[in-house]
Amino acid sequence: FFPSEIEVLSTIALYLASLVVNAELLAHYDRRLAELSLLNRISTAMQAKIDLADVLNTFLDETIKVMGADAGLVFLLDARSNELRGAARRGFPEGLWQSPLGLGEGIPGWVVKHGRVYVSPTPEQVPAQAQEHHSPDREIASRICVPLLTEEQTLGALYIATYAPHAFSEDDVRFLSIVASQAAVMIR
Protein backbone atom coordinates (compact mmCIF):
# COMPACT_ATOMS: atom_id res chain seq x y z
CA PHE A 1 0.00 0.00 0.00
CA PHE A 2 1.09 3.54 -0.70
CA PRO A 3 1.20 6.03 2.18
CA SER A 4 -1.77 7.91 0.70
CA GLU A 5 -3.86 4.70 0.62
CA ILE A 6 -2.93 3.89 4.23
CA GLU A 7 -3.97 7.39 5.24
CA VAL A 8 -7.36 7.04 3.50
CA LEU A 9 -7.96 3.61 5.08
CA SER A 10 -6.96 4.95 8.50
CA THR A 11 -9.41 7.83 8.11
CA ILE A 12 -12.20 5.42 7.12
CA ALA A 13 -11.39 3.15 10.08
CA LEU A 14 -11.55 6.08 12.51
CA TYR A 15 -14.88 7.16 11.02
CA LEU A 16 -16.31 3.62 11.34
CA ALA A 17 -15.05 3.35 14.92
CA SER A 18 -16.80 6.60 15.82
CA LEU A 19 -20.02 5.27 14.24
CA VAL A 20 -19.83 2.14 16.41
CA VAL A 21 -19.24 4.20 19.57
CA ASN A 22 -22.13 6.52 18.70
CA ALA A 23 -24.44 3.54 18.11
CA GLU A 24 -23.50 2.08 21.50
CA LEU A 25 -24.12 5.43 23.20
CA LEU A 26 -27.49 5.74 21.49
CA ALA A 27 -28.52 2.26 22.67
CA HIS A 28 -27.38 3.15 26.21
CA TYR A 29 -29.43 6.37 26.20
CA ASP A 30 -32.47 4.60 24.74
CA ARG A 31 -32.32 2.11 27.62
CA ARG A 32 -32.00 4.92 30.18
CA LEU A 33 -34.98 6.71 28.64
CA ALA A 34 -37.06 3.53 28.86
CA GLU A 35 -36.00 3.10 32.50
CA LEU A 36 -36.94 6.67 33.43
CA SER A 37 -40.23 6.34 31.57
CA LEU A 38 -41.08 3.20 33.56
CA LEU A 39 -40.24 4.90 36.87
CA ASN A 40 -42.50 7.78 35.87
CA ARG A 41 -45.39 5.41 35.05
CA ILE A 42 -44.96 3.67 38.42
CA SER A 43 -45.09 7.01 40.23
CA THR A 44 -48.16 8.07 38.27
CA ALA A 45 -49.93 4.80 39.10
CA MET A 46 -49.12 5.30 42.79
CA GLN A 47 -50.63 8.79 42.74
CA ALA A 48 -53.74 7.57 40.93
CA LYS A 49 -54.40 5.05 43.74
CA ILE A 50 -55.37 2.32 41.28
CA ASP A 51 -56.18 -1.19 42.52
CA LEU A 52 -52.93 -2.87 43.67
CA ALA A 53 -53.44 -5.94 41.44
CA ASP A 54 -53.86 -3.73 38.36
CA VAL A 55 -50.81 -1.67 39.27
CA LEU A 56 -48.68 -4.78 39.87
CA ASN A 57 -49.72 -6.29 36.54
CA THR A 58 -48.92 -3.07 34.64
CA PHE A 59 -45.68 -2.70 36.59
CA LEU A 60 -44.67 -6.26 35.70
CA ASP A 61 -45.58 -5.84 32.01
CA GLU A 62 -43.53 -2.67 31.70
CA THR A 63 -40.56 -4.04 33.64
CA ILE A 64 -40.41 -7.17 31.48
CA LYS A 65 -40.53 -5.00 28.35
CA VAL A 66 -37.74 -2.65 29.49
CA MET A 67 -35.57 -5.58 30.65
CA GLY A 68 -36.07 -7.43 27.36
CA ALA A 69 -37.22 -10.44 29.39
CA ASP A 70 -39.83 -13.10 28.69
CA ALA A 71 -41.53 -13.61 32.04
CA GLY A 72 -41.85 -12.24 35.54
CA LEU A 73 -43.50 -12.68 38.91
CA VAL A 74 -44.13 -10.43 41.87
CA PHE A 75 -44.16 -12.32 45.16
CA LEU A 76 -45.57 -10.71 48.30
CA LEU A 77 -44.74 -11.83 51.82
CA ASP A 78 -47.69 -12.68 54.05
CA ALA A 79 -46.40 -11.46 57.42
CA ARG A 80 -48.76 -13.69 59.40
CA SER A 81 -47.82 -16.99 57.73
CA ASN A 82 -44.28 -16.00 56.64
CA GLU A 83 -45.09 -17.30 53.15
CA LEU A 84 -44.57 -15.78 49.73
CA ARG A 85 -47.53 -15.72 47.38
CA GLY A 86 -47.59 -14.77 43.70
CA ALA A 87 -49.36 -11.41 43.33
CA ALA A 88 -48.69 -10.81 39.61
CA ARG A 89 -47.53 -13.20 36.88
CA ARG A 90 -46.57 -12.74 33.24
CA GLY A 91 -45.12 -15.21 30.75
CA PHE A 92 -45.23 -18.27 33.02
CA PRO A 93 -47.66 -21.20 32.87
CA GLU A 94 -50.75 -20.56 34.99
CA GLY A 95 -50.04 -23.39 37.46
CA LEU A 96 -46.48 -22.30 38.19
CA TRP A 97 -45.95 -21.13 41.78
CA GLN A 98 -49.60 -21.48 42.76
CA SER A 99 -48.50 -22.87 46.10
CA PRO A 100 -46.96 -20.43 48.56
CA LEU A 101 -43.21 -20.50 49.20
CA GLY A 102 -41.70 -20.45 52.65
CA LEU A 103 -38.87 -18.11 53.59
CA GLY A 104 -35.69 -19.51 52.09
CA GLU A 105 -37.64 -21.75 49.71
CA GLY A 106 -36.85 -21.38 46.01
CA ILE A 107 -35.03 -18.38 44.60
CA PRO A 108 -37.71 -15.85 45.67
CA GLY A 109 -37.75 -17.28 49.20
CA TRP A 110 -33.95 -17.12 49.36
CA VAL A 111 -33.97 -13.50 48.16
CA VAL A 112 -36.58 -12.46 50.74
CA LYS A 113 -34.87 -14.35 53.57
CA HIS A 114 -31.44 -12.85 52.84
CA GLY A 115 -32.56 -9.48 51.43
CA ARG A 116 -30.07 -9.89 48.57
CA VAL A 117 -30.24 -9.87 44.78
CA TYR A 118 -29.98 -13.22 43.00
CA VAL A 119 -28.68 -13.40 39.40
CA SER A 120 -28.37 -16.65 37.50
CA PRO A 121 -27.36 -16.68 33.87
CA THR A 122 -27.82 -20.45 33.50
CA PRO A 123 -29.94 -23.08 35.30
CA GLU A 124 -26.79 -25.04 36.17
CA GLN A 125 -25.56 -22.17 38.33
CA VAL A 126 -28.59 -22.18 40.65
CA PRO A 127 -27.28 -23.13 44.11
CA ALA A 128 -28.94 -26.08 45.82
CA GLN A 129 -30.41 -23.90 48.58
CA ALA A 130 -32.20 -21.76 45.97
CA GLN A 131 -33.68 -24.51 43.76
CA GLU A 132 -37.22 -23.77 42.59
CA HIS A 133 -40.04 -25.19 44.70
CA HIS A 134 -42.11 -27.66 42.65
CA SER A 135 -40.86 -25.83 39.57
CA PRO A 136 -41.76 -27.00 36.08
CA ASP A 137 -39.84 -23.99 34.68
CA ARG A 138 -36.75 -25.87 33.58
CA GLU A 139 -36.90 -24.06 30.23
CA ILE A 140 -35.79 -20.81 31.88
CA ALA A 141 -32.24 -19.98 30.86
CA SER A 142 -31.55 -16.86 32.94
CA ARG A 143 -33.14 -15.23 35.95
CA ILE A 144 -32.76 -12.27 38.23
CA CYS A 145 -34.63 -11.79 41.48
CA VAL A 146 -34.52 -8.70 43.70
CA PRO A 147 -36.11 -8.07 47.08
CA LEU A 148 -38.97 -5.59 47.42
CA LEU A 149 -37.50 -3.53 50.26
CA THR A 150 -38.69 -0.56 52.24
CA GLU A 151 -36.59 1.04 54.95
CA GLU A 152 -38.32 -1.08 57.59
CA GLN A 153 -38.90 -4.45 55.98
CA THR A 154 -38.83 -6.83 53.02
CA LEU A 155 -42.28 -7.05 51.42
CA GLY A 156 -41.55 -9.66 48.77
CA ALA A 157 -39.52 -10.28 45.62
CA LEU A 158 -39.51 -9.34 41.95
CA TYR A 159 -38.47 -12.27 39.72
CA ILE A 160 -37.60 -11.71 36.03
CA ALA A 161 -36.65 -14.50 33.62
CA THR A 162 -35.62 -15.18 30.03
CA TYR A 163 -36.06 -18.38 28.05
CA ALA A 164 -32.91 -17.69 25.99
CA PRO A 165 -29.54 -17.33 27.75
CA HIS A 166 -28.99 -13.74 28.86
CA ALA A 167 -26.18 -12.35 30.98
CA PHE A 168 -27.81 -9.80 33.26
CA SER A 169 -25.49 -6.82 33.70
CA GLU A 170 -24.74 -4.61 36.69
CA ASP A 171 -26.97 -2.02 34.97
CA ASP A 172 -29.81 -4.58 34.97
CA VAL A 173 -29.30 -5.24 38.68
CA ARG A 174 -29.16 -1.49 39.42
CA PHE A 175 -32.28 -0.73 37.38
CA LEU A 176 -34.29 -3.64 38.76
CA SER A 177 -33.33 -2.70 42.33
CA ILE A 178 -34.57 0.87 41.74
CA VAL A 179 -37.81 -0.38 40.20
CA ALA A 180 -38.28 -2.85 43.07
CA SER A 181 -37.90 -0.10 45.66
CA GLN A 182 -40.48 2.02 43.83
CA ALA A 183 -42.81 -0.99 43.77
CA ALA A 184 -42.21 -1.61 47.49
CA VAL A 185 -43.25 1.96 48.30
CA MET A 186 -46.36 1.50 46.17
CA ILE A 187 -47.21 -1.83 47.84
CA ARG A 188 -46.68 -0.44 51.32
The Cα–Cα gap between 75 and 160 comes to 11
pTM for this prediction = 0.71
So what's the pLDDT on residue 133?
A: 42
Encode pLDDT of 75-96 as tens digits. 999 989 989 998 888 988 777 7
**Exposed, middle or buried: residue 163 (CB in 10 Å: 0-12, 13-18, 19+)?**
middle
Bridge partners, residue 83, by sequence: 78, 102
Higher pLDDT, 97 or 187: 187
For all residues of the chain together, what is the average pLDDT? 81
Higher pLDDT, 73 or 97: 73
Encode pLDDT of 145-159 as tens digits. 999 998 878 999 999
